[in-house]
Amino acid sequence: MKAVGVVVEYNPFHNGHQYHIQQSKTKTGADVVVAVMSGHFLQRGEPALVDKWYRTKMALLSGVDIVIELPYVFATSKAEQFAKGAIQLLSAMKCESFAFGSEDGNIEPFKNTLSLLHDFRTEYNELIKYYVSQGNSYPKSLFEAYEQLKQKRPQLYIDLAQPNNILGYHYIEAAYLLNSSINPVTIQRIQAGFHDDIQSDTTIASATGIRKALFENGELSDVLQYVPRYTYEQLQDWLQNYQQFANWEAFWPLLRFTIIRYIPKDLTQFADVSEGIEYAIVKYAKVSDSFTDFMNHIKSKRYTWTRLQRMLTHILTGITKEQLHRFSSPTYIRLLGMTSKGQQYLSEKKSEFDLPLISRVASTKDELLQIDLRATEIYSQGIQFISNKKIDGDYKTPPIRI
């Protein structure tokens, strides 16, 4: 059996994701789709809308065959580490290819960009340092350095201002650096951009737009046309059980309590906290009544919203710098769910996997897994705070079978 891998968050799974799954199978001729999915905290540094098991069900009911978890230390890292962990897992599961969304659906510009940045790596790094020294944010410095470097070798390159292109580039780079035989494939995104609001004249919307509609309007029916039926049913079920969806506003009292337990110096032990920002975090946590108010106080040109959210995620979960950077590679494959076809693939290929497949967490004391278990417990505490009901944790929840 042939497998194509996808790297996802499904926050939530929507019609665009379903299109991506269908096109990935068509373009690669794969028998099964393997999704490596972030757990309860995501790459932009925020809690997931619903828990990882609800999101697993959405995926399995809508075309994915196997869902595995991207460990917390990769799922909440910058794009390079996020991509590296994901591609290592898909390679370990013997996926022949991986497919990602991009703006124009052409793989050649990605390969050209990879060649350019690796051939001129030293000069690229010097340009980045220069633009940072001029007061630009790190992401802005990366973009400016790249734009200047493109003049050296006129070719067709990707637009690194687009979030999906950035991740796609790092997926391809990770496969190259790992010397993996996994083949990259890109699928053109349709209709909705990464951060676009929902539009009434289409059935495709970004996950960001869907979440915004849910939190601003509060009506689940507002997103009905943008998600598969199974996603809508899972979202309905979540609301019946837990009253509201998770986001930083909902988790703010828990985060605020966590922050003000510390003096500023103590916060510097946590991953991504640096350069004096700890004083502002403690100061404004004490006086801000909402997460948005707090973020508007501490955000600056130097600290992007995403960078700050990652810091806060690590403070909330108690993940230190040493813990986040101790692991350069995943040490296991954590199975969250499978269809019957996915189970057939696992039975056929499991003996060839490069990493152990974990379906029951009680069977291992792996250090990397312990961090995932902690993240689930913290997320569960947040859900209990807003709904007075905890989610079933990692020890109680077996892999979902569809």
Last residue of a domain, one of 325, 344, 361: 325
Task: Name the pLDDT band for 33 (thresholds 50, 70, 90).
Answer: very high
217 assigned binding-site residue: no
Q: Are residues 48 and 29 in the same domain?
A: yes
241 assigned binding-site residue: no
Q: Are residues 259 and 307 in the same domain?
A: yes
Number of H helices, E strands in the chain: 18, 8
Q: Are residues 23 and 99 in the same domain?
A: yes
Task: Name the pLDDT band for 225 (thresholds 50, 70, 90).
Answer: very high
**pLDDT recorded at residue 191:** 60
CATH number, domain of 14, equals 3.40.50
11 assigned binding-site residue: yes
Question: Is pLDDT at 194 greater than 60 in this prediction?
Answer: no
Q: Select from 320, 256, 313, 309 the least CA-distant residue to 283.
A: 256
Q: What is the mean pLDDT of residues 351-369?
A: 92
The verdict on residue 126 lying in a domain is yes
Task: Name the pLDDT band for 5 (thresholds 50, 70, 90).
Answer: very high
Q: Which residues are bridge partners to 47 per DSSP? A: 41
The verdict on residue 168 lying in a domain is no
179 assigned binding-site residue: no
The verdict on residue 195 lying in a domain is yes
Q: What is the domain count for the chain?
A: 3
Question: Is pLDDT at 196 greater than 80 in this prediction?
Answer: no
297 assigned binding-site residue: no
Q: Are residues 260 and 314 in the same domain?
A: yes
Residue 49 near residue 12, CB atoms below 8 Å: yes
Please give the residue that has the higher pLDDT: either 138 or 88.
88
**pLDDT recorded at residue 171:** 97
Question: Is pLDDT at 373 greater than 50 in this prediction?
Answer: yes
Q: CA triplet 401, 181, 341: central angle to 5 degrees?
A: 20
Q: Are residues 9 and 130 in the same domain?
A: no
The verdict on residue 173 lying in a domain is no
Question: Is pLDDT at 198 greater than 80 in this prediction?
Answer: no
287 assigned binding-site residue: no
Give the least confident one: 127-136, 289-298, 327-336.
127-136
**The pTM is what?**
0.93
234 assigned binding-site residue: no
Q: Are residues 319 and 397 in the same domain?
A: no
**CA separation for the pair 89, 357 (Å, rounded):** 11
244 assigned binding-site residue: no
What percentage of the chain reaches a pLDDT higher than 70?
A: 98
32 assigned binding-site residue: no
Q: Are residues 24 and 86 in the same domain?
A: yes
The verdict on residue 180 lying in a domain is no
For 232, the enclosing helix (H) or strand (E) is helix 229-242
Question: Is pLDDT at 173 greater than 90 in this prediction?
Answer: yes
Q: What is the mean pLDDT of residues 306-316?
A: 96
20 assigned binding-site residue: yes
19 assigned binding-site residue: yes
How many CB atoms lie under 10 A from the CB of residue 118?
A: 12
126 assigned binding-site residue: no
- DSSP-derived letter for residue 291 is H
Residue 74 near residue 81, CB atoms below 8 Å: yes
Q: Are residues 255 and 229 in the same domain?
A: no
Last residue of a domain, one of 325, 349, 381: 325
Q: Are residues 17 and 156 in the same domain?
A: no
Q: Are residues 130 and 253 in the same domain?
A: no
170 assigned binding-site residue: no
The verdict on residue 166 lying in a domain is no
Burial of 297 (0-12, 13-18, 19+ CB in 10 A): middle
Q: Are residues 287 and 313 in the same domain?
A: yes
Last residue of a domain, one of 273, 290, 325: 325
Q: Are residues 372 and 242 in the same domain?
A: yes
17 assigned binding-site residue: yes
The verdict on residue 171 lying in a domain is no
**CA separation for the pair 213, 232 (Å, rounded):** 14
**CA separation for the pair 292, 289 (Å, rounded):** 9
Using CA atoms, how far residue 93 sits from 9, 68, 228, 313, 365, in Å, is 19, 10, 27, 29, 21
Domain, as residue range, for 35: 3-103+187-246+328-401
The verdict on residue 51 lying in a domain is yes
